[in-house]
Structure 1
Amino acid sequence: MEQKKLDLNSIIGFILIFGILIWIMYQNQPSEKEIAADKAKKELVQKQQAEAQKAKAATATIVQDSTAADSTKLSALKASLGNFAYSATLPSAKENFTTIENNLLKIIVANKGGFITEVVLKNQERFQKGSKDLVSLIKNKNSELNISLLTQDNRTLASKDLYFQPTLTKAGENQILTLRLNASANEFLEYKYVLKPNNYMLDFDIHSQGLSKVLNTSKPLDLEWTMKTIRNEKSISYENRYTDIRFEYEDGKDDYTGQGKDKEENPEKVSFVAFKQHFYSSILLTKTPFEKAKLYSNDLVANEQTDTLHTKQFRANMPLAFRNGEVNYEMNWYFGPTDYATLNAYDRGLDKIIPLGWGIFGWINKFIFIPLFGFLSSFIAYGIAIIIFTIIIKIAMSPITYKSFLSQAKMKVLRPEINEIGEKFSKDPMKKQQETMKLYTKAGVNPMAGCIPALIQIPFMYASFQFFPSAFELRQKSFLWADDLSSFDQIAKLPFNIPLYGAHVSLFPILAAIAIFFYMKMTSGDQQMAAPQQEGMPDMGKIMKIMIYVSPVMMLIFFNSYGAGLSLYNFISNLITIGIMLVIKNYIIDPDKIHAQIQENKTKEPKKQGRFQQKLQQMMEEAEAQKAAQKKKK
């Protein structure tokens, strides 16, 4: 076979192909930047691989150390908490919160301690209406609930420092939050909250299971509830005046701790404890009364002129008794308005926390003022409702007012004859008294008739002083220049503070003071004319002259920081009284007719004296007899 040889064309072809390959390799070689980047990338990968190996080794060491540390920590925890250390090993043993809410309340409960850490009233705003700052009764750790747990080996544990396991479920529209402080899977202390729709009150049960093996059951558990009440109203002094602890005890009795520093009460058989603020309250109720309670209140407002966050410090300690080795209390929480209608609707005696007055004063408020004002305010503006309410009350009292003025008119007619008796028996005061009483009897005039109507009106006046400051419905309701009828109607801010008066000027108290001045100015003359000066008695004329100026000043001072609703009531009340008095004096009572009637009465057989007159006559006769006997001895 013939051997092939390379020809010239083949050699040239190989050279061209080789040249092309060299050119392609040259064009595609990396730049210096690309070479440096590739080098850095390789170094980074090598570094990451080295760190991964190092981390893997370190993790193994940490796991070993952690296991040993956890074992040591758990041993220490068991040593301090006993069987309750089990709760610290659960996933819930961390700072976490559960929220339950309805259309009225938003409530937040903490795992740690199992108690409520925040309560927001969704439809209630703080004192600056429109600010969208809602009323919060509990927030920023101002309240705690704690149970002191005495273990079998005499250790005392605080439930507020231990972690509860939460479980949130629903039953229809009700939200049920159960929190368990576990000693083991079957031994626990349980808090159960049940929130219903459209309700300010929620169920709250405390129940234990199997803790007779863990706790010392020979003594009751100590339940402690504390709170710093948060300021929610414009006037600090006004709100603080109506903030206190109220409670029900011994099957229906009620009382309160009072104002000031370090106030304490120790009632027994307590069925509810209310941390009452002016217009909002936090109340703990129990179906099984606490055997006793220790209630403590302290005033936190050192200076009413400063912007204070908290008003009172409250504390309540109640024992939780063991029954058959377990604790089982069915209770309730109320967080809501201090409103009579709302509280009364629960039929648990909660309306007692509203200071409506005792005895007849409370009856007037409950059965007259509250129903009447509630009816009027249901269809007209609150300011107008106060005016109409006042008119109705004053018209209803007008017959009593008429009796009082009629008595004054009769005494005024008899004034000349009384003066004659005074001059005739100026040296014999006892005889003067006897002759004056005979004149009253003969003329058919009762000197006490003018006092009795005034006494009848006093309960209504006092009831109004209790009703208006407690009327929740006036809160943040405006009228004329007053933006809130439940607080003072400031028209000017003073650059300084006047003791007792304040650092602002309220207009309604000024108007009420002016009305009182003119009323007393108009009536003082008649009263002085009607009331004869008695021997040894103070000069009523001078007293009345002083009161004409003192009463308006007192109104200005004490009512400047009171609610505008009460000042408006007093202003309208005095205006109406002045009007009624003018009508009675000018169009109803005729002095000439009264004089003629008295003269006619003198010709008739004297009417039988009343008990008071008989008693007074008897006392004077006995005094006269003693005086005569003393003269004979001399």
Structure 2
Amino acid sequence: MQQNNGIDKSQMISFAVLCLVLFGFMFYFQNKQSKEEQLKAQEQKIEQVKNAVKQTQASNINPNVTPGAIQTARLNSKELNLEFSSLGGQVSKVQLSEYKAYNHKTDNADLPLYLIDKKNSNYGFQFKDKTGKVINTKDLVFTPAANGNTLTMTANYNGAVIEFIYTLLPKYTLDFKVRTKGLAAVTSDNKADFIWDYSVRNLEKGRAQEQSHSEFSYAFNNYKDYDYDGRTEMNEEKETLNWIGVKQQFFSSVIEAKNGFTQSKGNQEAIEEGEYLKKLNFEGFVQMTGSELNQDFTWYFMPLDLPLLKSYDKNFDEILPLGWSFIGWMNRGFFMPMYNIIAEWGLTAGWVIFLMTIIVKLILSPIMYKQHKLSAMMKVIRPEIDEVNAKLKDADPMKKQQATMEIYRKAGVNQMAGCLPALVQIPIFYALFRFFPNFIDLRGKGFWFAKDLTAYDDLIKLPFKIPFLGDHLSVFALACTIVILIYTVMTSGNMQQPQQEGMPNMKVLMYIFPITFLFFLNTSASGLSWYYFVSNAINILIILVIKYVILDEKKIHAQIQANKEKPKAEGKFQKRMREMMEKAQEQQKYQESQKNKKK
């Protein structure tokens, strides 16, 4: 009787106990967290009073301008609270009033969310006067005049009048018109250089994750084509950009030029710590007519919400990094709609993900069933394979492999069928890797001890940093690693080990994989870890049900014996493998005969 290499009833009980312990552990810390949040809420009120927003002193902005010369003006809507500085006539503060930023002190998203504040954005138009002196509008002092939702900023330079006309519109939009009069008497230039310096503010919990998502994004070819650049430099000198934006994990600041930016270039530099994540600099030219600068622009300070981005019809939806081609289609056409439909039932985000996992598993269940049936069949014929390996112990490895494949062929076992589930799940994994940290509907949604499913949970804090792991341990990542390890133990029992010397032990490699997975998941979105915890726990239950309820090893053995009696046609893959092995054997025999002749 062949020894059972799978999991017995005592192991089933152990697995059930482990799951209960994990769920109990999660509920315990959920209650603990609620008490901590009440205390933090009281501390937060005190902290907000202490950290009231201070007015920026003009002497800190430009030492050449007296403090009294700087004025501020405001435009407000339901979505945006904007402040403008008369120095440069530019937007100096942008608050998205419907969103909150993460507070490292309270470990909660309870701060006002500013995309622009404390001089992290600086822009202006640069040209030369007729003496060759470089003039930049960001250095000029403008006079503000408000009328309803429109603000006109006016500056004078050597008799020329420069107007910046801002109009606050719905949908996170700020219309921006530039008008000049008499500029032709000052300059002979036919184009102005738009220069924008922007430092990305840290708004989310996962710094490394948010930093990796911060980059240039832009459209060209009449809004039809989109590109992005997260590297050190960007260079699009041959294209006319319709808009250029600085993308963050969930928000973006974009300026659209109605007649486009030409000869565009930029660079970016990561900031390792502090309030900012990256420093980006952009430079592009806009046309001047008769040395007058009369151009229309639009600013967008917007959340990266897919329906909102699509509504602009400017290819903004490409800013969301949901994956290329089929991967992006899965997120846009399957995972996002499925999440929204289930969320309408009133469930919390964590349970929505739980049901999503079950639905995906049901869809993949026919493939999973075939995989586990194949595993059971391989287990039944394992004694015959061991017998062949024992008989051909001293034979050529190629001959052993041929004998093994002959057993598979006669039994009707197609080894390649076991690769199909893995191939199917690779695009799903990558799609979810893109989905969880970029789906704004999950932002700030907590579940158990994870306060934000788009960031890691750090319930277990370490007093030191571990390379590639950080200064914390994610409980969701640990739980996911444990179930992957259990699943690996259960599925690797029937794996045939390589007979050739020097070949690595595949079982050992498979056991190492879950451990390396911990390093990957520990700083990733906790929603992703929770999904794969549930997914692999379901895999384990499926194996147990198939093993003890659905599949009968005696029947499988009888089926295999019946298959052996029938003439079995070779499959294309099996035929190709046999032909390759035969050629390899002939080549080996030829090489040996040549060596004997030389002797």
Sort the Cα spacing of 1:413 and 1:178 in 2 relative to 1 into closer, same or farther, 3 A: same
- In structure 1, the residue matched to 2:117 is 139
1:287 to 258, 267, 273: 258
How many Å apart are 1:207 and its aligned residue?
4.0
Give the alignment of 1:518-537 within 5 angstroms.
518-526=486-494, 528=495, 531=496, 533-535=498-500
Letter in 1 for 2:386: N
- In structure 2, the residue matched to 1:509 is 477
Q: Deviations over 1:479-515 (max 9, x none)?
A: 2222222223232433333333333343212221221
Answer yes or no: is the 8 Å Cα contact 2:234–2:266 preserved in 1: yes
1:603 to 562, 565, 569: 565
Q: Deviations over 1:16-68 (max 9, x none)?
A: xxxxxxxxxxxxxxxxxxxxxxxxxxxxxxxxxxxxxxxxxxxxxxxxxxxxx
CA distance in 1, matches of 2:263, 2:202: 29
The yes-or-no answer on 1:177 pairing with 2:165 is: no
1:149 to 121, 124, 127: 127
- In structure 2, the residue matched to 1:405 is 372
Give the alignment of 1:43-122 within 5 angstroms.
94-122=69-97
Letter in 2 for 1:573: S
Answer yes or no: is the 8 Å Cα contact 1:143–1:225 preserved in 2: yes
Q: Deviations over 1:92-116 (max 9, x none)?
A: x931122111101011122221110
1:444 to 401, 412, 417: 412
Instruction: Normalising by structure 1, report the TM-score.
Output: 0.76
- In structure 2, the residue matched to 1:229 is 200
- In structure 2, the residue matched to 1:15 is none
Give the alignment of 1:210-229 within 5 angstroms.
210-218=182-190, 220-229=191-200
Answer yes or no: is the 8 Å Cα contact 2:259–2:286 preserved in 1: no
1:449 alignment partner, SS class: helix
Answer yes or no: is the 8 Å Cα contact 1:242–1:277 preserved in 2: yes
1:547 to 500, 507, 510: 510
CA distance in 1, matches of 2:88, 2:473: 47
How many Å apart are 1:228 and its aligned residue?
1.5
1:351 alignment partner, SS class: helix
Letter in 1 for 2:510: M
1:490 alignment partner, SS class: coil
How many Å apart are 1:535 and its aligned residue?
3.5
Answer yes or no: is the 8 Å Cα contact 1:443–1:602 preserved in 2: yes
- In structure 2, the residue matched to 1:35 is none
- In structure 1, the residue matched to 2:329 is 363
CA distance in 1, matches of 2:210, 2:204: 6
CA distance in 2, matches of 1:560, 1:623: 46
1:627 to 558, 578, 588: 588
2:584 alignment partner, SS class: helix
Unaligned runs of 5+ in 1: 1-87, 303-307
Letter in 2 for 1:389: M
Answer yes or no: is the 8 Å Cα contact 1:103–1:122 preserved in 2: yes
CA distance in 1, matches of 2:297, 2:575: 60
2:244 alignment partner, SS class: strand
Give the alignment of 1:322-401 within 5 angstroms.
322-323=288-289, 325-379=291-345, 380-401=347-368
CA RMSD of aligned residues (A): 2.6
Sort the Cα spacing of 1:494 and 1:628 in 2 relative to 1 into closer, same or farther, 3 A: closer
Sort the Cα spacing of 1:493 and 1:630 in 2 relative to 1 into closer, same or farther, 3 A: closer
Answer yes or no: is the 8 Å Cα contact 1:257–1:296 preserved in 2: no
- In structure 2, the residue matched to 1:296 is 267
CA distance in 2, matches of 1:537, 1:585: 34
Answer yes or no: is the 8 Å Cα contact 2:102–2:110 preserved in 1: no
1:479 alignment partner, SS class: coil
Sort the Cα spacing of 1:96 and 1:581 in 2 relative to 1 into closer, same or farther, 3 A: same
1:200 to 167, 172, 178: 172
Instruction: Normalising by structure 2, report the TM-score.
Output: 0.80
The yes-or-no answer on 1:264 pairing with 2:233 is: yes
How many Å apart are 1:143 and its aligned residue?
0.8
How many Å apart are 1:472 and its aligned residue?
1.5
2:503 to 531, 538, 544: 538
How many Å apart are 1:226 and its aligned residue?
1.0
Q: Deviations over 1:576-618 (max 9, x none)?
A: 11111211222222222222222222222323412x3333233
CA distance in 1, matches of 2:377, 2:295: 68
How many Å apart are 1:183 and its aligned residue?
4.9
Letter in 1 for 2:77: N
CA distance in 2, matches of 1:296, 1:495: 36
How many Å apart are 1:132 and its aligned residue?
5.3
Sort the Cα spacing of 1:495 and 1:624 in 2 relative to 1 into closer, same or farther, 3 A: closer
Identical amino acids, percent of aligned pairs? 36
Letter in 1 for 2:568: P
Unaligned runs of 5+ in 2: 1-64
The yes-or-no answer on 1:613 pairing with 2:574 is: yes
Answer yes or no: is the 8 Å Cα contact 1:274–1:353 preserved in 2: no
Letter in 1 for 2:152: T
Letter in 1 for 2:124: N
Sort the Cα spacing of 1:208 and 1:444 in 2 relative to 1 into closer, same or farther, 3 A: farther
Answer yes or no: is the 8 Å Cα contact 2:73–2:85 preserved in 1: yes
1:582 to 531, 544, 551: 544
CA distance in 2, matches of 1:492, 1:98: 46
How many Å apart are 1:234 and its aligned residue?
2.7
CA distance in 2, matches of 1:214, 1:481: 63
How many Å apart are 1:532 and its aligned residue?
5.3
Sort the Cα spacing of 1:403 and 1:117 in 2 relative to 1 into closer, same or farther, 3 A: same
How many Å apart are 1:145 and its aligned residue?
0.6
CA distance in 1, matches of 2:110, 2:564: 74
Count, aligned residues: 521
CA distance in 1, matches of 2:491, 2:133: 74
- In structure 2, the residue matched to 1:12 is none
Sort the Cα spacing of 1:301 and 1:184 in 2 relative to 1 into closer, same or farther, 3 A: same
CA distance in 1, matches of 2:548, 2:266: 59
- In structure 1, the residue matched to 2:468 is 500
After TM superposition, the structure 1 stretch with the greater mean CA deviation from structure 2, 228-237 or 443-452, is 228-237
Q: Deviations over 1:301-353 (max 9, x none)?
A: 24xxxxx2111111111111234544444332111223333323322222222
Q: Deviations over 1:535-563 (max 9, x none)?
A: 46724xx3323532x34433443333333
Answer yes or no: is the 8 Å Cα contact 1:404–1:454 preserved in 2: no
1:448 alignment partner, SS class: helix
Give the alignment of 1:417-436 within 5 angstroms.
417-425=384-392, 426-436=394-404
CA distance in 2, matches of 1:563, 1:141: 30
- In structure 1, the residue matched to 2:61 is none
Letter in 2 for 1:125: K
Sort the Cα spacing of 1:584 and 1:286 in 2 relative to 1 into closer, same or farther, 3 A: farther
CA distance in 1, matches of 2:169, 2:356: 36
- In structure 2, the residue matched to 1:319 is 285
Letter in 2 for 1:351: D
Answer yes or no: is the 8 Å Cα contact 2:266–2:281 preserved in 1: yes
How many Å apart are 1:357 and its aligned residue?
2.0
2:449 alignment partner, SS class: coil
Q: Which has the higher contact order (CA 8 A, sep 6+)?
A: 2
Sort the Cα spacing of 1:447 and 1:120 in 2 relative to 1 into closer, same or farther, 3 A: same
How many Å apart are 1:423 and its aligned residue?
4.2
CA distance in 1, matches of 2:588, 2:193: 70
After TM superposition, the structure 1 stretch with the greater mean CA deviation from structure 2, 277-286 or 250-259, is 250-259
1:482 alignment partner, SS class: coil
- In structure 2, the residue matched to 1:190 is 163
CA distance in 1, matches of 2:259, 2:437: 33
After TM superposition, the structure 1 stretch with the greater mean CA deviation from structure 2, 322-331 or 594-603, is 322-331
How many Å apart are 1:419 and its aligned residue?
3.3
Sort the Cα spacing of 1:148 and 1:595 in 2 relative to 1 into closer, same or farther, 3 A: same
